[in-house]
Amino acid sequence: GAGVSQSPRYKVAKRGQDVALRCDPISGHVSLFWYQQALGQGPEFLTYFQNEAQLDKSGLPSDRFFAERPEGSVSTLKIQRTQQEDSAVYLCASSRREGTPEAFFGQGTRLTVV
Amino acid sequence: LAKTTQPISMDSYEGQEVNITCSHNNIATNDYITWYQQFPSQGPRFIIQGYKTKVTNEVASLFIPADRKSSTLSLPRVSLSDTAVYYCLVGDIGAAGNKLTFGGGTRVLVKP
């Protein structure tokens, strides 16, 4: 597939459980973004990577959220001790280079915390 | 970052032209205007981007007046499959990270 791939598509977690969400960006894309989208709202920025460097994590809502991209390709968003307010769709996007407006989004992972 | 304001929702009918206007009074000199489309259960998809005047591609047209304080996305002859949420974004294309900042978007419903 040529697009951004996210897994799992759906995740149900019990409150307090740790979860890991995976993003496979388009091959060769330098920039990678994570967004959180609550029901009925627009996506909200979480964090940004340029290759393996996490250059902006200003949108991460708490220290329970952690993202990594160790080899500059696949990225993982980890949420520790999940809370009900973490329930949302988590979107990953990649773009060819810095400064381009065209980001390619995956279908997202819908996280439900019960 | 320039704040954007756009209608919450719009209804239209198949075959009609849909125009969505976005206000961005505080747009900066380096800011570009970008529109994304999002279908249910999918991630947003880039539609069009412009700086001034008019830009057209195979999907839509983007009209930007001289003062750049607003922009209008025009979807010609919409079909049922154009039912989606449309987001207007304004930002500095050259900025590191080019963090796309989404607002609430405009829900467009195309009726038969």
A7 neighbors A20 (Cβ within 8 angstroms): no
Q: Which of B76, B2, B80, B79 is nearest to B34 (CA)?
A: B2
pLDDT, position A102: 86
CB-based contact, A45 to chain B, within 8 Å: yes
- A26 SS3 class: coil
CB-based contact, A7 to chain B, within 8 Å: no
Under DSSP, the state recorded for A25 is P
Q: Which of A80, A102, A98, A87 is nearest to A40 (CA)?
A: A87
Could you read off the pLDDT tens digit of each residue along chain A, which spans 114 residues?
A: 579 999 999 999 999 999 999 999 999 999 999 999 999 999 999 999 999 999 999 999 999 999 999 999 999 999 999 999 999 999 999 998 776 778 899 999 999 999
- The tokens for B92 are 């500095």
Provide, as residue numbers in chain A, all residues whose Cβ is less than 8 Å from the Cβ of B32: 101
Q: Which of B109, B103, B2, B91 is nearest to B44 (CA)?
A: B103
